[in-house]
């Protein structure tokens, strides 16, 4: 009867361990999903911000090019100090 009791205790311990491992696996899966979702959201936000920044920089470049063209066509580009001129 002692061996039966030991085997029963061992089986119960294995069932408890299996249950805890299952809970741990679920927690790890949820954590990884949350991490993945966060990375996807951060990536999308970064891509949008980068796109917006590049658009602003492109618009600024066009404004500078237009300004330089206007100043040159008016013949007053030599009056603008080098500090304010576009670097080539």
Per-residue pLDDT at 64: 85
Q: Count of domains in the chain?
A: 1
Which range, of 19-23, 39-43, 73-77, 83-87, averages the lowest pLDDT?
83-87
**Angle 87-52-57 (CA atoms, 0-180°, nearest 5)?**
10
* Mean of per-residue pLDDT scores for the chain: 88
**Model confidence at 72, in pLDDT bands (50, 70, 90)?**
confident
Instruction: Name the residue range of residue 20's domain.
Output: 2-84
| pTM of the predicted model over 0.85 | no
Reported as type and span, the H/E element at residue 44 is: helix 2-74
Per-residue pLDDT at 29: 98
Output the six-digit token pair for 26.
Answer: 């679920």
- φ, ψ of residue 78 to 5 degrees: the values are -75, -10
């Amino acid at each position: 009867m002692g061996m039966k009791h030991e085997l029963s205790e061992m089986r119960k311990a294995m069932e408890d361990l299996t249950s805890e491992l299952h809970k741990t696996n679920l927690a790890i899966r949820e954590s990884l999903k949350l991490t993945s979702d966060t990375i996807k959201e951060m990536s999308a936000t970064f891509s949008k911000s980068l796109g917006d920044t590049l658009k602003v920089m492109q618009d600024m470049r066009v404004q500078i090019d237009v300004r330089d063209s206007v100043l040159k066509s008016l013949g007053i580009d030599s009056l603008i100090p080098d500090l304010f001129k576009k670097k080539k």
